[in-house]
Structure 1
Amino acid sequence: MRRLTPALALGLTVLLAASHANAAPSHSTRDSYGTKATYAPGQNPRTYQRPPAGFTPVFTENVSRHGSRAATDGDDADLVLALWKKAEAAGALTAKGRELGPKVQALQSAMSAVGYGDLSGRGKREVHDTAVQMAKRLPGLFRKIAGDKEKIDVVSSGQGRAVDSANLYAAGLAGADPALKPLIGPTRTDVDLLYFHKAAGGAAYRDYLANDQRLASTLKSITDQPTTHRAARDVLKKLFKGDFVDQLADTDRVAAATAVYNLYAIAPAMSDESPDGRGWGMERFIGKRDAAWFGYLSDVEDFYEKGPGFAGSDITYKMADVLLDDFFDKVEAKRDGSSDLGAELRFTHAEEIIPLAALMGLPGSTEGVTQERPYTYADNAWRGAAVAPLGSNVQWDVFRKGGTYLVRMLYNEKETAFKAGCRPIARNSAFYDLDELERCFGRAEGAS
């Protein structure tokens, strides 16, 4: 989440703020972690549908967000510890507040040891386990890849945690079937494909973030409202005595409470590094209702900056075309006989997964909002914890019978329907004819 500046304390867009003032978000505890939620497969693989008779797997491809990681910097811990030390010197710590400082210091030390922004132990396991599940899901495909000496291409954004995820995933596959090891290419970098929000194709998007006044006023009006200030005060008064909290400026209270929330949100990703390996207990320092509110604010930013955003505008997700095109290109090359790949494995970030989900119309990512009726949990299904948790992934498995190719999509390892307008081969089937997908995504010649 962005830290508030003093400017955010000046005025509100009354219409938008009023729509939120009495709306505590409906949530699950998982939702309160936003896109820092740790990964969990969405379906028991034993319940996957079987392909129709005669169809055998011939190709698979994915795009995955990196696994769980440490915070990208130590700023939140630094802010909380500075305030904690000031309160300690003033004798203004509550009983719970006295526990906070040592806990934050230990968590900060653990993140520093892992490396800010780098994969944690949990993140490494998430990536490895997802690779093993792919191998178990498609044993016939990987036997075919090994027997035919087909290649497995591995590509990343070039950022450290994505590169590490790619290498760990490849190692997981090779561990599941050693015959695959010589067929897995070295991890290569494609910034345009897997870091497009910072590449040339993201220029218009970056201008939107920097200069769109509708975006700026909407984020300000949603964030800087009485509910946020009440939640911030509630968070801090659990940790510091009332007089100490009251002496802080409004913006300082919100910044400090946001930092406490951010540590709460990242702590599960660092569970392996906790003293007992079971977790840090940061939920002790923020109430469920307050965590839910700050989680909602985190989702607000991601929804408007990366997700469906404003209805009638595709500026936040149009640039994901390059990634969706690559998915189709790889399957079409397999069908056309111009590819010797057995698998295509891609590793990236939330900034790519979230817009891809919106572009593809994946569950929860189908509905933009108007400026007059902004994003709320009550009115919109989008949740960062479901759309792009740490380790999130989209996978296409391809099956062939004669000249017919079927595609099954898994979203966070759950069989998932393609967008409205795409017709599966039978009602409630997870399988789609490639020709039908080309038609409904506008790739077929003459498609409407």
Structure 2
Amino acid sequence: MLAKPRLAVLQTGLLLSLSCLLSACGGSDGGANPRTYYQTKTPYAPQQDATSYEAPPSGFNAVYTGLLARHGSRGLSSLKYDLAVYNMWKKASDDGALTSLGAQLGPDVLKIMKANFLLGYGVSGITTPGYGNETQLGITEHTQLAQRLINRQSALFESAASAASSNPRKIVVVTSGVDRAVDSGAFFVKSMLATKPALISLVSYPPAPSPYPEGGTPIAQPDGTNRFLLYFHKLVAKTDKVSNTANPLYTTYQDSQAFQTWLNDSDLAAKQAAILADSAAQTAGRAVLERLFTKAFVDKIAAGTYSFANTGSMTFSSDDGKFTSTLSGDGKTGITDLASGGSLIYELYAIAPAMKAEANVDFTTYMPEDQARYFAYLQDASDFYKMGPSITEKGSVTWKMAQILEDDFFNEVDAIASGKLTNVAKLRFAHAEIVIPFASKMGLKNVLQQQALSTMYTYDNNPWRGEYVSPMAANMQWDVVRNSAGTVLVKMLYNEKETDFKTACDGARYAAGSHYYDYTKLKTCYGHVSN
């Protein structure tokens, strides 16, 4: 059980910082534009005009490109926030406790809910409709991301396509195996081939690592799946167990177990509790709820007389009547105070832009800008501690598991540097839980600043922001060029913006101020050892 003195200290520190945040005293608002504040749910947009990219130095030509991309904009992951909020709204309706604005909330929640129940139905490329699927916006994000990659590297892919019969190279495609990542990869490849059909023979889906779990009945994974590489935050004994210490994947499996243990750490629990327990969080929650419900109803939530959870079952059918889905909530997502009530409405506010084509609801009506900014901060704080840089005293537990992905990026360039041009591209599709630790592992600026256990993450003392680190379809790309002497340079794009490698590697720049890095010096800086 958490010691009360520690929680009290955390709450006190959080109260001071958040009262400053809400009064806009001299601090950052997180870089969000007015009326956004969607953080890791932010719909994707490239962060730099492609016409402004630095050209390769004279004598260097593109030889390879590598990509890691989060899946595109999606619906809700499961029947949680929407059902809990709907149950709260239904009780208020039954009590006659709705304001005129609150009366609109229930029908809008049902629109969000129905859209998620049916998400992907009738969409080519979506095999199992329902929660967690990509929306039309998400499909568009990866469709356009592929087009921009092909256009940026047009000479590279044109050369690969022209030599496909005499000197074939591969476009390697790998995913986590989870539906929305698999679908993102499929939509990306579909768009790539629509842009340049001659590449079709180059697309390759390598066999999944096998046989796993060790010591049990092997579970077959589809070609193009690599859970160790792209789902390393959630490796489990049932499918992924590695017990042989000589196995190169043993370390990744152990690091995954350490991360999952961290999720139950008492210090993490203390930080997460402090985030919502602060009086400023209750104040923000009340500001949201009292616009929707009578003060008497809101007071009952504050007193603990009323509480709500994602309990019960709902059924929705497609307009053509050919698809019906019935789901039940698990009761694990609750509204037990004002802060959690406001926070769950914020979750619907944050997902609504991704679902514009499917639900077409505007939740800014229910989430005033000041409270949107506040709950965005709470979301950032939660993600920062859970899977971001987190607590200094905990070391690298939240990102050490990303070593396998860092090695994979470097190993691909190692091959190029040794003259093996087997792959022209490697395309990897995963999740925020992969992108966020990887950005930390790479030591990107404004990404890897930890907080001491005795302090609390705030927008005033830490530059980490979910909307920068991992918006929907977040991506990292390495463009590799080589000259006739065999010198290899690498340039990184992060969310399609030319981005520096970690500061310690500045000496590896090919020229002062350049975004191209000498590969030999770069891998030495990162401590990478070629296989």
Q: Read off the aligned partner of 2:401 and give its amino acid letter.
A: M
2:434 corresponds to 1:349 = no
Per-residue deviation, 1:404: 0.3
- Tell me the equivalent position of 1:425: 510
The equivalent position to 1:195 in structure 2, one of 231, 235, 254, is 231
1:305 matched to 2:386: yes
Give a deviation string over 1:41-80, Cα, whole Å, max 9, x none.
0100010011101110000001000000010112211111
Instruction: Tell me, yes or no, if the aligned pair for 2:146 and 2:192 is still in contact at 8 Å.
Output: yes
Larger % of helix: which? 1
Question: What corresponds to 1:291 in structure 2?
Answer: 372
Asked if 1:370 corresponds to 2:452, the answer is yes
> 1:232 deviation in Å?
1.1
Partner of 1:139: 154
Q: Is the 8 A contact 2:68 2:477 kept in 1?
A: yes
Matched, 1:97 2:97: no
Note if 1:165 corresponds to 2:181.
Answer: no
What is the TM-score when the length of structure 1 is the normalising length? Answer: 0.93
Question: Residue by residue, what CA displacement relative to the aligned partner does 1:296-333 show, whole Å, maximum 9, x if unpaired?
Answer: 11111211111111125100001000000000001101
Other structure's SS at 1:40 match = coil
SS in 2 for 1:22: helix
Cα RMSD after superposing both structures: 1.8
Partner of 2:170: 151
Seen in structure 2, the aligned counterparts of structure 1 residues 444 and 374 have a Cα distance that, compared at 3 Å, is same
1:29: how far off?
A: 4.1
Decide which moves more: 168-177 or 23-32: 23-32
CA distance in structure 2 between the aligned counterparts of 1:321 and 1:106, rounded to whole angstroms: 42
CA contact (8 A) 1:12 1:225 kept: no
Equivalence for 1:258: 343
Deviations 1:73-132 (A, max 9, x none): 122111111111211122111111111111111111112111200000000000110000
Spell out the pairing of 1:197-276 with structure 2 (5 A cutoff).
197-199=233-235, 200=253, 201-210=255-264, 212-248=265-301, 249=303, 251-275=336-360
Match of 1:17 in 2: 11
For the residues of structure 2 that align with 1:170 and 1:224, how far apart are their CA atoms? 45
- What is the distance in 2 between the residues matched to 1:241 and 1:11? 35
**Which letter does structure 2 place at the counterpart of 1:262?**
E
Q: Hey, what does 2:67 align to over in structure 1?
A: 62
Aligned mates of 1:218, 1:89 — CA distance in 2: 36
Partner in structure 1 of residue 208 of structure 2: none
Shift of residue 412, structure 1, vs aligned partner: 0.2
- Whether contact under 8 Å (2:171, 2:202) holds in the other structure is yes
CA contact (8 A) 1:69 1:119 kept: yes
State the match for 1:3 in structure 2. none
Alignment of 1:48-127 (within 5 A): 48-114=53-119, 115-127=130-142
Aligned equivalent of 1:317, options 383, 387, 399: 399
Looking at structure 1, the residues matched to 17 and 429 of structure 2 have their Cα atoms a distance apart, in angstroms, of 37
Q: Which runs of 5+ in 2 are unaligned?
A: 22-27, 120-129, 206-222, 236-252, 305-335
Q: Which amino acid aligns with 1:96?
A: L
Q: 178, 181, 186: which is aligned to 2:200?
A: 181
- The answer to whether the 8 A contact 1:151-1:185 is kept is yes
Distance 1:93 1:12 in 2: 39
Query: Runs of 5+ in structure 1 lacking a partner?
Result: 1-6
Distance 1:444 1:322 in 2: 13
Partner of 2:520: 435
Question: Shift of the alpha carbon at 1:444?
Answer: 5.5
Contact 1:155–1:347 under 8 Å retained in 2: yes
Between 67-76 and 12-21, the greater mean CA deviation after superposition: 12-21
Percent of residue pairs identical: 39
Deviations 1:196-237 (A, max 9, x none): 011224011111112x22222222223211011111111110
Change (3 A) 1:319 1:267: same
Give, as a single letter, the amino acid of the residue that structure 2 aligns with 1:88.
S
Choose which of 136, 142, 145 in structure 2 pairs with 1:130: 145
Amino acid at match of 1:234: A
Structure 1: how far apart are the matches of 2:109 and 2:32? 21
- Which stretch has the larger CA shift, 184-193 or 432-441? 184-193
> Aligned-pair distance for 1:431?
0.4
Check 1:300–1:359 CA distance in 2 against 1; reply closer, same or farther (3 A cut): same
Could you tell me which residue of structure 2 aligns to residue 404 of structure 1? Answer: 487
**Which one-letter code corresponds to 1:419 in the other structure?**
K
